[in-house]
Amino acid sequence: MGRGKLRIYLGAAPGVGKTYAMLSEAHRRVERGTDCVVGFVEHHNRPRTEVMLHGLELIERRELEYRGSAFTEMDVDAILARRPAVALVDELAHTNVPGSRNAKRWQDVEELLQAGIDVVSTVNIQHLESLGDVVETITGVRQRETVPDEMVRRADQIELVDMSPQALRRRMAHGNVYKPDKVDAALSNYFRPGNLTALRELALLWVADRVDEYLQEYRGEHNIRSTWQARERIVVGLTGGPEGRTLIRRAARLAEKGAGGEVLAVYIAASDGLTSASPKELAVQRTLVEDLGGTFHHVIGDSVPDALLEFARGVNATQIVLGVSRRRSWQYAFGPGVSATVARESGPDLDVHIVTHDEAAKGRGLPVARRGRLGRSRIIWGWVTGIVGPALLTLLLSEVVPDLGLANDMLLFLTFTVAAAILGGLLPALASAAFGSLLLNWFFTPPLYQLTIADPRNIVAIAIFVGVAVSVASVVDLAARRTHQAARLRAESEILSFLAGSILRGENSLDALLERLRETFAMDSVALLERTSEVDSWTTAASVGATPVSRPEDADVDLPIGDTMALALSGRVLPAEDRRVLGAFAAQAAVVLDRQRLVDEAGKARELAEGNRIRTALLAAVSHDLRTPLAGIKASVTSLRSDDVEWSETDKAELLEGIEDGADRLAALIGNLLDMSRLNTGTVVPLIRETDLDEVVPMALGAVPEDSVVLDIPETLPMVAVDRGLLERAVANVVENAVKYSPDGQPVHVSASALAHRVELRVVDRGPGVPDEAKERIFEPFQRHGDAPRGAGVGLGLAVARGFTETIGGTLTAEDTPGGGLTMVLTLPIAGGTPPVTADLPTSAVT
């Protein structure tokens, strides 16, 4: 049985009509005779969508009970038993009610596909998991229900359901999406024209990338090597030279001429050794191309032209931008150059732009030495082996074993030549070969003790000996140096991998980076210096090691970083090839320093913004919420002191009661302000003791009306480790907030239960509830949700409650009440890890 096919209608925003499009597709399939059923479709009471369900077979939903309320979900078992050809499943990112077959609806869909059932589903762009942070930045709303991108990407068909922001807002204004009482709030928040435009662009780009993936897969499956110019892709060939910036900007201008143009900068590194490019210049060019909206790629290849063309055809590029060669005229005798070769081999499907620049024909400078550096002692031993060794061998063969024969003598001399090449390199080996040939001629080739050779065969033998000796010495020397280069490359790659890893991990420790630099190059000290201009003195931004220098001139090695920074190292002079890795360290040090300063500035900005917000809210509270009870107290006192009116005892009692109520409100407001101030300054010191909840919670209900709270605290609960006073204040604020928003005749339920090593206290109301995106904001200072009237408090109650709860080691969170409302959950630690005691019958009280 094969896997079913998945078709997804991807919506750019809620309300664009993806469910309607899915149902229209279902009717078309039914008319063609396809066995199609509705597994789950949510019409949201939209009449036009509900009408589209007529004439389609509906699979009865499964009912589930969760926390005392009934919910319906898609019945996967019923669909599998029915085995239709096609099943319609709406809202792919939906989270199923606990107790369902799977946690997520996309997992239900995966089961249906595995069973060979085709599925048609819907999802909005904001529910893709990888776009969660982007959508939150655009709309300010964090999507709680998401679907993995891979699930959507693996769909056999993806159809974008799109609509202009103006048309969608008109549809909403006509009541086709939300109920009339929610239209204004939606239009002024989530469905603002800017939000809808950004979401639309996000959806179009995501679908365009998916189409591009389909195209790449098709080209790969059919082995298509030619370029299909479906989209302008411009590849920029970089050498690491200063002309790269000119080429990148030129490519960006070319990309702007065509809609959707893309720039890909690529640096081809030769595979035979260390690169001669400047790491600093490559880092600058990488930053430039990314700032212009392109991407940077690093490719290793044996042939630069072949690797560049292979890369361009692999990404389906349409144009290649190269610079005029920096080689001088006489250097063209060694070959036509990369630009000419690429232009000749590109074929008719790739346009090659050769751009002139200021560095053209100025030469590439001396090539970077690729030889490994041998120690002085090794070179000395190489010369000793190559010269002294043959001399001692001659003495041994002449006096001890004189009759080995010329062939064996040559092999023994060749051994010392190879040893000289291994120890000291090519020059000692060549000297050993020449010296050995002279010794063979003088002592072992007739006529002896003369440089002449009587037998022509011996001349050939001596010549072959010299040729073999030189060849073997060259090969051995090359192998030794390649080994040294490989070891060096490995060390450099480990260092660069460390730097790249630190960037990906977001590490911001400048001292740790400089210490790693000091250890890598065995230096005594490293200092990062900076100045504001060329005429100012240097200052030390960071340093490690003993006695770091304060000026680049005093360092053994100094490396400029831009115009205002420099890296100064003391201890020893580094060879030229080490400066490449040093340049990478320097660039990373500058980035880390900038990142540290940006983080510090962002932190200060957040503190200033938070301080301004709190001051503004406090001024608003003082100007209104505190003046309102003061005005009532003032009016009542003025009335009592008036001699113009004769007040009855009942009137006096009412005025005094008003004064008392106003004073109580003032006391509560000022108490919350003082508590918030204590929490912000960290002066709240809890006194943790073992406490029974059934002793604390009833004491916290004194400020709410009688019969407004139903209390359910089992006596058998384990004791909790809390500060009684702080817990009482926290519970009082939470309960008062719940009573404030509960409808008349609907008491607030306060219950407690033991779970593992904690106790949960739940405060449940049946009020209007709070959307998911606002559940954390209600705990911020000076926040009043929804249309809370002025004078209902300054919005500090829940902030103080959470602060006190966290101070005593607990947590305070908000969640939806099944059936409507809000539930506040206080989680408190059990004293001493006492296990909970199972109660037979909980004790209930009504206050």
List, as one string, the DSSP characters of 141-203: ---S--B-HHHHHT-SEEEEE---HHHHHHHHHTTSSS-HHHHHHHHHTTT-HHHHHHHHHHH
pLDDT at res. 370 = 38
Tokens describing residue 608: 């200033």
Tell me the pLDDT band of 80, cut-offs 50, 70 and 90.
very high
Say how many residues make up the chain.
Answer: 847
pLDDT tier, 839 (very low <50, low <70, confident <90, very high otherwise)? very low
Task: Tell me which residue has tokens 């900038």.
Answer: 594
Average of pLDDT values for 100-110? 90
CA distance 726 to 751: 19
Instruction: Please tell me the distance from the alpha carbon of residue 263 to that of residue 249, in angstroms, as a whole number.
Output: 10
**Least trusted range by pLDDT, from 315-319, 522-526, 643-647:** 643-647
3-state secondary structure of 4: coil
**In the numeric block, which tokens belong to residue 794?**
């300054």
- Give the residue from 595, 552, 648, 623 showing the smallest Cα distance to 791: 623
- Average pLDDT, rounded, for the chain: 79
The answer to whether 160 touches 153, Cβ cutoff 8 Å, is: no
Closest CA to 105 of 135, 127, 86, 84: 127
Q: CA nearest 203: which of 230, 247, 165, 256?
A: 165
Q: Are 219 and 296 in contact (CB under 8 A)?
A: no
The pLDDT, as a whole number, for residue 271 is 56
CA distance 246 to 686: 64
Q: What is the pLDDT of residues 218-265, one digit of tens each?
A: 666 656 655 555 567 899 998 877 788 889 988 888 887 765 678 899
- At 88, which helix (H) or strand (E)? strand 86-89
DSSP 545-569: ESS--SSGGGSSEEEEETTTEEEEE
Torsion of CA 483, 485, 490, 493, to 10 degrees: -160
Q: What is the DSSP string of 32-65?
A: TT--EEEEE---TT-HHHHHTTTTSEEPPPEEEE
Return the pLDDT at 274: 42
Q: Three-state secondary structure along 749-787?
A: EEEEEEECCEEEEEEECCCCCCCHHHCCHHHCCCCCCCC
Q: How far is CA 562 from the centre of its chain?
A: 28
Sequence letter at residue 8: I
519: pLDDT strictly greater than 90: no
**Looking at this protein, which amino acid is placed at residue 656?**
L
Task: Outline where 361-442 has alpha helix (H).
Answer: 376-399, 406-424, 426-439
Tokens of 684: 């709240």
Query: What is residue 745's DSSP assignment?
Result: T
Average pLDDT (407-424) is 82
Side-chain half-sphere of 803: how many Cα atoms within 13 Å?
Answer: 24
Contact present, 13 and 124 (Cβ < 8 Å) = yes
Residue 693 has pLDDT above 60, yes or no: yes
Q: Of residues 123 and 532, which shows the higher confidence score?
A: 123
Please give the Cα distance from 238 to 265 (Å, whole number): 7
- Which pLDDT value is given to residue 117? 93
Residue-wise pLDDT for 324-334, tens only, equals: 877 666 556 65
Tokens of 554: 């005093």
Cα-flanking dihedrals φ and ψ of residue 365, to 5°? 80, 175
* Nearest alpha carbon to residue 517 among 457, 465, 466, 584: 584
481, 577 in Cβ contact below 8 A? no
Tell me what pLDDT residue 216 has. 61
Share of residues in the chain with pLDDT > 90 (%): 13
Each residue's pLDDT tens digit, 566-596: 888 888 777 666 777 788 888 888 888 888 8
The mean per-residue pLDDT over the stretch 27-47 comes to: 89
Task: Look at residue 826 in the predicted model and tell me its pLDDT.
Answer: 92
Structure confidence by residue, pLDDT tens digits, 15-34: 888 899 999 999 999 999 99
Kindly tell me if the per-residue pLDDT of 272 is higher than 60: no
**Residue 116 or 465, more confident:** 116
pLDDT at residue 776 greater than cutoff 80: yes
Q: What is the DSSP letter of 647?
A: -
How, if at all, do strands 709-712 and 748-755 pair? Answer: parallel
Give the percent of the chain with pLDDT over 70.
81
Range 637-664 average pLDDT: 82
Lowest mean pLDDT of 43-52, 444-453, 701-710, 815-824, name the range. 444-453
What DSSP assignment string belongs to 598-619?
HHHHHHHHHHHHHHHHHHHHHH
pLDDT attached to residue 834: 44
The mean-pLDDT minimum among 42-56, 140-154, 226-240, 585-599 falls in 226-240
Tens digits of per-residue pLDDT, 736-773? Answer: 889 888 888 889 999 998 887 889 999 999 888 888 88
CA atoms of 780 and 783, how far apart (whole Å): 6
Asked whether the beta carbons of 321 and 237 are under 8 A apart, the reply is yes
The two three-digit tokens of residue 121, written as one number: 């589903």
Q: Name which of 176, 205, 10, 216 is nearest 93 in CA terms.
A: 10
Rounded to a whole number, what is the distance in angstroms from the first to the last CA of the chain? Answer: 64
In this structure, are residues 6 and 121 in contact, taking their beta carbons and an 8 Å threshold?
yes
- Determine the average pLDDT of the residues in 185-213: 78
Q: Residue 123: which pLDDT band, with cuts at 50, 70 and 90?
A: very high
Give 160: exposed, middle or buried? Use CB within 10 Å, 0-12, 13-18, 19+: buried
Lowest mean pLDDT among 52-56, 180-184, 270-274, 289-293: 270-274
Q: What is the pLDDT of residue 26?
A: 93
- Encoded tokens for 757: 């090593």
**Are the CB atoms for 484 and 372 separated by under 8 Å?**
yes
**Do residues 672 and 659 lie in contact, with contact meaning Cβ atoms separated by under 8 Å?**
no
pLDDT band at 837 (very low <50, low <70, confident <90, very high): very low
Percent helix, percent strand, percent coil in the chain, to nearest 5 = 50, 15, 35
> CA nearest 157: which of 13, 17, 21?
21
Question: Lowest-pLDDT range, 529-533, 537-541, 645-649, 745-749?
Answer: 645-649
Of the two residues 487 and 826, the one the predictor is more confident about is: 826
Side-chain-facing half-sphere of 101: CA atoms under 13 Å: 20
3-state secondary structure 204-267: HHHHHHHHHHHHHHHHHHCCCCCCCCCCCEEEEEECCCCCHHHHHHHHHHHHHHCCCCEEEEEE
Choose the weakest-confidence range: 77-81, 207-211, 294-298.
207-211
- Secondary structure (DSSP) of 810-838: -EEEEEEPTTSSEEEEEEEEBGGGPPP--
The two beta strands, 6-11 and 118-124, are: parallel
Maximum average pLDDT range among 437-446, 611-620, 671-680: 437-446
In order of 134, 160, 263, the CA distances from 203 in angstroms are 12, 8, 21
The span from the CA of 459 to the CA of 437, in Å, is 11
Q: Are residues 378 and 421 in contact, defined by beta-carbon separation less than 8 angstroms?
A: no
CA 43/CA 384 separation, integer angstroms: 93
